């Protein structure tokens, strides 16, 4: 991938020996219909589409290599590609959701839709930021990345536009950052807003209303780990904060303070199944 791609358009000149050059040459020659044209001397052939499909492949399946269907929508720059239930990525999402349930009152999910997010604007920003972290860490080791959950009623907007920390509240437990969880059931509590109920039934444990959640690729870099609430902004020399389980938190959370340090990969629409009221711990707020 070349830097020029990130301008959005790249005309890549091909060698004469390149298969695509030969294809273009023979297509030109074999479709001569006018008798006064005896041939062409091909000087250059520029190709751009292949680079696009490579970018999509890189942007969407960093740890799962799958075939990508080109779609018209991609050419707007952002594509939300709905996946079939049989698709490997669908299965990955479904099992990641199920296997990271930590809250005892959540018994499972019904996954309605999974969209894979192909965003040619936010991916290069993510790559650039990750490269900067790599250099800041002395190029000695790969930048730590994790796939983490983020629940929000605005999940579909974030899928298209990326995160905007301008909306983050300074009053968050670890300052004005973007917060992620490794437990699906933790982000589940943010799908209607911060521990908010659904609007239709006014129920925090609604099993009927559709929730939205994101699985994001997050560049953590050098993590500042804490169990205490002593952080209101990113400590100098670090790239992220990891709040571990402790007195304040039952489940860990991750905070970043740079919108480009996250690439939303999947948007999931689902409903949540809860244990019956008698069996669960009631309405207390578990962070």
Nearest to 226 by CA among 188, 207, 252, 198: 252
Q: Is residue 221 a contact partner of residue 239, using CB atoms and an 8 Å limit?
A: yes
Q: How far is the CB of 193 from Zn ion (least distance, A)?
A: 13
- Closer of 55 and 106 to Zn ion (Cβ): 106
- Residue 191 in contact with Zn ion, rule: CB under 5 A: no
Nearest to 259 by CA among 153, 186, 173, 150: 150
Segment contacting Zn ion (CB under 5 A): 121-129, 141-149, 191-199, 239-247?
Answer: 191-199
Segment contacting Zn ion (CB under 5 A): 106-114, 193-201, 229-237, 271-279?
Answer: 193-201
- Residue 198 in contact with Zn ion, rule: CB under 5 A: yes
Q: What mask, x for binding Zn ion by CB under 5 A, covers residues 25 to 64?
A: ----------------------------------------
Q: How far is the CB of 205 from Zn ion (least distance, A)?
A: 9
Strands 223-226 and 240-243: parallel
Among positions 31, 41, 140, 200, the unique one binding Zn ion when judged by CB under 5 A: 200
Using CB under 5 A as the binding rule, the residues of this chain from 206 to 265 that contact Zn ion are 206, 209
**Which of 131-136's residues contact partners 24+ apart within 8 Å by CB, and which partners?**
133/219, 133/221, 133/222, 133/239, 133/261, 136/221, 136/239
Q: Is residue 78 a contact partner of residue 160, using CB atoms and an 8 Å limit?
A: yes
- Residue 114 in contact with Zn ion, rule: CB under 5 A: no
- Residue 201 in contact with Zn ion, rule: CB under 5 A: yes
Residues that bind Zn ion (CB under 5 A): 198, 200-201, 206, 209
């Amino acid at each position: 991938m070349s830097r020029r791609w990130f301008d959005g358009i790249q005309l890549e000149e091909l060698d004469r020996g390149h298969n695509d050059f030969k294809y273009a040459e023979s297509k030109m020659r074999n479709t001569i219909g006018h008798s006064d044209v005896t041939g062409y001397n091909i000087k250059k052939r520029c190709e751009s589409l292949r680079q696009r499909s490579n970018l999509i492949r890189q942007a969407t399946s960093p740890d799962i290599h799958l075939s990508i269907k080109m779609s018209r929508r991609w050419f707007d720059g952002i594509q939300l590609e709905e996946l079939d239930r049989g698709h490997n990525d669908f299965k990955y999402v479904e099992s990641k959701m199920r296997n990271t349930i930590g809250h005892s009152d959540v018994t499972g999910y019904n996954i309605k839709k999974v969209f894979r997010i192909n965003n040619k604007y936010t991916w290069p920003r993510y790559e650039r930021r990750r490269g900067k972290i790599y250099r800041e860490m002395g190029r000695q080791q790969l930048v730590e990345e994790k796939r983490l959950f983020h629940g929000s009623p605005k999940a579909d907007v974030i899928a298209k536009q990326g995160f905007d920390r301008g909306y983050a509240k300074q009053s968050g437990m670890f300052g004005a950052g973007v917060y992620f969880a490794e437990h699906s059931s933790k982000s589940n509590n943010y799908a209607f807003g911060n521990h908010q109920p659904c609007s239709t039934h006014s129920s925090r444990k609604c099993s009927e209303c559709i929730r939205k959640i994101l699985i994001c690729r997050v560049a953590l870099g050098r993590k500042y780990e804490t169990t205490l609430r002593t952080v209101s902004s990113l400590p100098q020399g670090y790239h992220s904060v990891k709040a571990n389980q402790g007195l304040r938190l039952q489940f860990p959370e991750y905070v970043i303070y740079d919108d480009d340090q996250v690439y939303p990969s999947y948007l999931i629409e689902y409903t949540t199944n809860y244990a019956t009221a008698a069996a669960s711990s009631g309405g207390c707020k578990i962070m």
